[in-house]
Amino acid sequence: MSPDADAHDRHRRLSPAPVLDLDPLIDDPGTRIVVCCGSGGVGKTTTAAALGLRAAERGRKVVVLTIDPARRLAQSMGIDSLDNVPRRVKGLDDSASGELHAMMLDMKRTFDEIVEAHADAERAAAILSNPFYQSLSAGFAGTQEYMAMEKLGQLRARDEWDLIVVDTPPSRSALDFLDAPKRLGSFLDGRLIRLLTAPAKLGGRAGMKFLNVGMSMMTGTLGKLLGGQLLKDVQTFVAAMDTTFGGFRTRADATYKLLQAPGTAFLVVAAPERDALREAAYFVERLAAERMPLAGLVLNRVHGSGADRLSAERALAAAENLEAVENLEEPRIVDQEGGKAGLRNSPDTYGSSESPASEAPAPDEGSPADPKNPSSERTEKGRSADPADRSVDQLTAGLLKLHADRMQLLSREQRTRDRFTALHPEVAVAEVAALPGDVHDLAGLRDIGNRLAAGRPELPETAVDRPDVD
Amino acid sequence: MSRLQVVSGKGGTGKTTVAAALALALATEGKRTLLVEVEGRQGIAQLFETEALPYEERKIAVAPGGGEVYALAIDPELALLDYLQMFYKLGGAGRALKKLGAIDFATTIAPGLRDVLLTGKACEAVRRKVKSGRFVYDYVVMDAPPTGRITRFLNVNDEVAGLAKIGPIHNQAQAVMRVLKSKETAVHLVTLLEEMPVQETADGIAELRAAHLPVGRIVVNMVRPEVLDGADLELVRTTPRSAVAKALSSAGLGGARRGGNAEKLVDPLVQQAEEYAERYALEHEQRSVLGELGLPLHELPLLTEGMDLAGLYELATELRKQGMS
């Protein structure tokens, strides 16, 4: 067990990871592609959309390529139709004269377009009506990855945008997305495709007799396995692929190189949960192995607390204390602050509950309440009457328990993060504070963008003094 | 009780955890379950705190009461060779196919075939019997692909049967579909009480039903305990902050005066309560959306200490208590 797993040792910190500063990255005209990758359910698409919006409002001409956005998120950007074409997003602050375009990847459409672009009409029609092609292109697992790469290459080649933000498919594993171009490329170069496509070619060449025998055995086997019609379909399809997709290998290689180029930045997106961060660590290692430029880690849904100096343990003890008061009708004081406790009803408190409530809080008397929240002053509750006091005690105990939960969550998140940082101290991290609700509109995305750029969750000043601050 | 229990869910909802807990829960009274992983993530090995699983059924846990849980991580490539061997005795030819890249082709370039192999292997385990005629596994639990792909994944054999209109592949595909569309199978969806996973669950159920696949239950995972109820939250809005400050002070957390330590706690604590209130309202809304789907609903608690082996047994007990096994 690693030492940082000690639940009680929450004050000890590893040296913090460097902060990922996203504004310089998206402002830099040299940054042309930002790829957001990570496991499913960590807010990858939202991060991509929020970054795209932020970059556009800071003056860049951006296109966001999303793969499979939640409907509400897509609608928030005004793209609810799957038409595979970048659409201009309206409602932006365009004072910096930037633009935001967004599109959703339609796999089948993208596949069809490649065929149409690279084959003459007759051949294209033959491919498009091939049952094997139809089944493959409609998007079994895997096709998405190829098509996302293909679309990225296309968008980049059009050179209409100066920044492309890509959301990656929710892959089974990190490998699929990076491997897609290579895998297809090596398949097209492989021997199987020769075998399937060129029995005639092989036959005539000297020294190929052995292969030819092997080949017919193979086609025989495949025929037996697949059924004659399907084998013919596969052969037709593969032959068509080979001739029309001649350029695919070249393009796949080019896209791969594009991803390695200095103008590309990878962002690994995660949430402070064990599985998501494990996957993130894997992505980081994988990107390094492929020499892909990693900008840093975006850690979504990080929780904070404005009162993080009040530990879970103390909050629970205090809550118990309040509940004990309730039961005994007698204040029992756990004095952990040396004399600061036990101020209930003491004359020097400013407690406005003692004074008649009024619509307009007097500047001196009502002031402990949040001035932004005058409604808390309007109530008649909280007078010295016992039942009200008791319900306040109960409520306060509830607030403290809620806080204890929050603090436990915080320390759990911190431990998971520390584990990642211990493994990859070099990776810069941008933390995004958790939102209580979901994002539905541009304002929500903008909010996330602000949080992204802040790099650390912005929290109000903490309250209770603690001598041992880091 | 269906013998093939398929567990799907949006990414991040903990479907692997739920599948593992279900496999444990079903392995009561000397029963034997097989937990199948199809996505090559080794999530099961991590959950059970064992080394990576090979392509081989091995015992990974003993359930309370003497039942056994076996696990299998299906490797598509090996599954294909297995399949070739089983149906066509093609050991050597299989290796030759591999050299030629045909196996790569089958398992990666034509990923539909991979799904055929994965579902085929799971169904084979469901149907497998020992000599006495008894089933080898009482239940097979599959940690399946996420909700967005589950229908296509389970339905792949229909598509294949349409492509290969005759021959052994056609027959095999139809045999698999017969299992998947029968009462022998139940597809469960795991969700969280959040908008996106709930929406995806609703969409997933509609798709499964349209494809005539048997939908089982909804499992709401990581449900947070209710610390404050609606009345408490109302009270937060109406109680003067100074009163809260005094209560905090009386509990030993510093002075209630302005600037006092207890007083300084009030704003952040109330803010946390407001965030909680927002989430509380949202969760209620999502719970009622789920309620309208007309399926049995199960809830599993969020484990505050994070997920570990002990937690897994806890969830299994919970599932058993709720009658899911």
Which amino acid would we find at residue A3? P
Contact B268 A306 (CB under 8 A): yes
pLDDT tens-digit map of A278-299: 889 988 998 999 899 999 999 9
Q: What is the interface size between A and B, counted as CB pairs within 8 Å?
A: 340
pLDDT score for A366? 37
d(CA A73, CA A76): 5
Residue B132 gets the label, from left (phi > 0), alpha (psi -120 to 50) or beta, of alpha
Token duo for residue B221: 């995972």
pLDDT tens-digit map of B237-255: 999 999 999 999 999 999 9
Contact A314 B149 (CB under 8 A): no
Query: What is the rounded average pLDDT of the residues A325-349?
Result: 45
The contacts of residue A192 (CB under 8 Å, 6+ apart) are B100, B101, B102, B104, B105
Beta-bridged to residue A452, according to DSSP, are none
Contact A368 B43 (CB under 8 A): no
pLDDT tens-digit map of B127-185: 999 999 999 999 999 999 989 889 988 998 888 787 777 777 788 889 999 999 999 99
Residues in A 44-83 with any Cβ partner in B closer than 8 A: 68, 70-72
pLDDT score for A4? 43
pLDDT score for A68? 72
Label residue A340 by pLDDT band (50, 70, 90).
very low
For residue A307, which of A129, A463, A192, A143 has the smallest C-alpha distance?
A: A463
Label residue B100 by pLDDT band (50, 70, 90).
low
Contact B306 A274 (CB under 8 A): yes
d(CA A326, CA A345): 16
For residue A331, which of A389, A402, A381, A385 has the smallest C-alpha distance?
A: A389
Most confidently modeled of A264-268, B50-54, B225-229? A264-268
Label residue A74 by pLDDT band (50, 70, 90).
confident
A210 burial level (CB within 10 Å; 0-12, 13-18, 19+)? exposed
Q: Which of B114, B195, B227 sits opposite A438 (nearest CB)?
A: B195
pLDDT score for A82? 58
Contact B11 A170 (CB under 8 A): yes
Is residue B15 within 8 A of residue B38, CB to CB? The reply is no
pLDDT tens-digit map of B176-198: 999 999 999 999 999 999 988 99
**Dihedral sign, Cα of residue A105, residue A108, residue A113, residue A118:** positive
List Cα–Cα distances, B102 to A61, A91, A188, B105, B107, in angstroms.
Answer: 44, 51, 12, 5, 9
Label residue A459 by pLDDT band (50, 70, 90).
very low
Laid out side by side, the sheet with A99-104 consists of A87-88, A99-104, A61-66, A163-167, A33-37, A264-270, A294-302, A429-433
Label residue A402 by pLDDT band (50, 70, 90).
very high
- Write down the pTM of the prediction: 0.80
For residue B21, which of B228, B323, B222, B318 has the smallest C-alpha distance?
A: B318
Residue A378 has pLDDT above 60, yes or no: no
The contacts of residue B50 (CB under 8 Å, 6+ apart) are B60
- Show residues of chain B in contact with A216, CB under 8 Å: none
Q: Which of A275, A351, A437 sits opposite B282 (nearest CB)?
A: A437
Where do we find the tokens 């995972």? B221
pLDDT score for A369? 40
d(CA B70, CA B62): 9
Residue A26 has pLDDT above 90, yes or no: yes
List Cα–Cα distances, A273 to A39, A410, A412, A418, B275, in angstroms.
Answer: 11, 11, 9, 11, 20
Lowest mean pLDDT among A186-195, A245-254, B75-84: A186-195
Residue A252 has pLDDT above 80, yes or no: no
- Better pLDDT: B323 or A56: A56
CATH topology of domain B4-224+302-321: Rossmann fold (3.40.50)
Token duo for residue A236: 């037709």
- Better pLDDT: A178 or B10: B10
**Dihedral sign, Cα of residue A433, residue A435, residue A440, residue A441:** negative
Beta-bridged to residue A264, according to DSSP, are A33
List Cα–Cα distances, A315 to A322, A328, B40, B277, in angstroms.
Answer: 11, 20, 43, 20
Q: What is the dihedral of CA B271, B277, B282, B288, to 10 degrees?
A: 170
pLDDT score for A335? 43
Q: What is the dihedral of CA A62, A65, A68, A71, to 10 degrees?
A: 30
User: What CATH class is the domain A22-182+250-306+425-453?
Assistant: alpha beta
Q: Which of B84, B240, B248 sits opposite A379 (nearest CB)?
A: B240
Q: List chain A domain ranges.
A: 22-182+250-306+425-453
